[in-house]
Amino acid sequence: MSTPSLTIVDLTLLATHGEPIVGHQLQGIQLARAPLPGAVFSRVNFQEADFSGADLREAVFDQCDFTGANFSGAQLRAAVFNRCRFQQVQAAGAKMHAAKFVDTGLQDTVLTGADLNLAAFHRCRLSRAQLGGALIDRSTFVGCAFPQAVLRQVAFHQVTLSGVDLEGADWAGSSFAGVVFHEVNLDGRSFAGLRLTGCQFPGSSLQNADFEGATLTQSNFQAVPLGAANFTRADAAMAIFVKARAQGARFGGARLRHALFAEAQLDRCVFDGADLYQGYFADATLQQCSLRDCELTYADFSRARLPQCQLQGSRLERAKFHRAELAGTELPAGHGSLGTDPVQAKAELWPNG
């Protein structure tokens, strides 16, 4: 390996005087615990360099090559990496709070236990990256790819994942609170047994996704494709499924108290044994659904279509079927539900009624 063109003393002096460091060959340089806050580097070769424990707060790196470098425990708060090569980097425990990575490759990089709170990643590739146990709070990932990335035991909190590729990513044991999955293809992915509270999925697809036993309280699936998704025994109390396209989905034994299904497409869904207390199904389509042994007290099916549904054994006390279509559906004897309210119907149909 060639001798670096600058020494640690040279770098410290240049950084102290605000001089940018451009085009140098510094592969293998030893910068452990070096004080370089605010330094500016452009087109520098840092392959195999040692930055462990270095102070690089608010440093700027443009088009630099860090392949094989060591950033373990480095202080990188608010640092910027633009169009850099960050592959095969060891950055376990690095402090990257509010750091920014733009058009940077982080393939095979180790970020286990790193502080990525408020960090932003734009158009980065994190193939096979290891982020297990990393701190990811209010962070943003836009247009990034995570194929085969390891995201185990991560507590994602108020994170935005927009247009990302999560193909093959492993998030076993992780939790998601207030996370926004924007335009993400999650078809066939498994979230079984995980916590996803208060999450949103605008523009995403979750067909054939597996949420069995997951905690989904107050999560929002509005207008999301959920065909054949599995919500068996999930806790989705107060979740929003308004206008969701969930034909053939399974909700058996799920806790769906106060959940909203207005205008949802739920044909051939299975809800057997689900707790749908005060569930709201106004204007929804539930053709050939199975709703056996469900808790449907105070549920609202106003103007819903329920032809050829099965409701045997369900509790329907004060459930509302105002102007609902029930062709081929038989309500249990002594159901105690409410039919069409003629006064309300007249008002809804005015002036054509």
- pLDDT tens for 307-334 read 999 999 999 999 999 999 999 999 887 7
Q: Is residue 230 part of a domain?
A: no
Q: Is residue 294 part of a domain?
A: no
Report the CATH number at residue 88.
2.160.20.80
Sheet (strand 100-102) strand order: 21-22, 40-42, 60-62, 80-82, 100-102, 120-122, 140-142, 160-162, 180-182
Looking at residue 333, what is its pLDDT?
77
The answer to whether the bond into 351 is cis (omega within 30° of 0) is yes
**pTM of structure:** 0.93
**218-262: per-residue pLDDT in tens?**
999 999 999 999 999 999 999 999 999 999 999 999 999 999 999
Alpha-carbon dihedral sign for residues 226, 229, 232, 234: negative
Q: Is residue 14 part of a domain?
A: yes
Domain count, the chain: 1
> 317 burial class (0-12, 13-18, 19+ CB within 10 angstroms)?
middle
Q: Is residue 291 part of a domain?
A: no
The residue among 327, 321, 315 whose CA lies nearest residue 274 is 315
Q: Is residue 215 part of a domain?
A: no
pLDDT at 352 > cutoff 80:
no
Question: Where does the chain have alpha helices with state H?
Answer: 8-16, 342-349
Pairing of strands 80-82, 100-102: parallel
| Spatial contact of 223 and 205, defined as CB atoms under 8 Å apart | no
| The one-letter amino acid at 132 | G
Phi first, then psi, for residue 150 (nearest 5°) are: -100, 110
- The whole-angstrom separation of Cα 266 and Cα 222 is 13
- The whole-angstrom separation of Cα 209 and Cα 312 is 28
Q: Is residue 282 part of a domain?
A: no
- The whole-angstrom separation of Cα 343 and Cα 340 is 9
Boundaries of domain holding 127: 1-184
Q: Quickly state the pLDDT bin for 6 (edges 50, 70, 90).
A: confident
Q: Is residue 176 part of a domain?
A: yes
Q: Is residue 288 part of a domain?
A: no
Sheet (strand 175-177) strand order: 135-137, 155-157, 175-177, 195-197
Q: Quickly state the pLDDT bin for 106 (edges 50, 70, 90).
A: very high
What is the DSSP-derived secondary structure letter of residue 183?
Answer: S
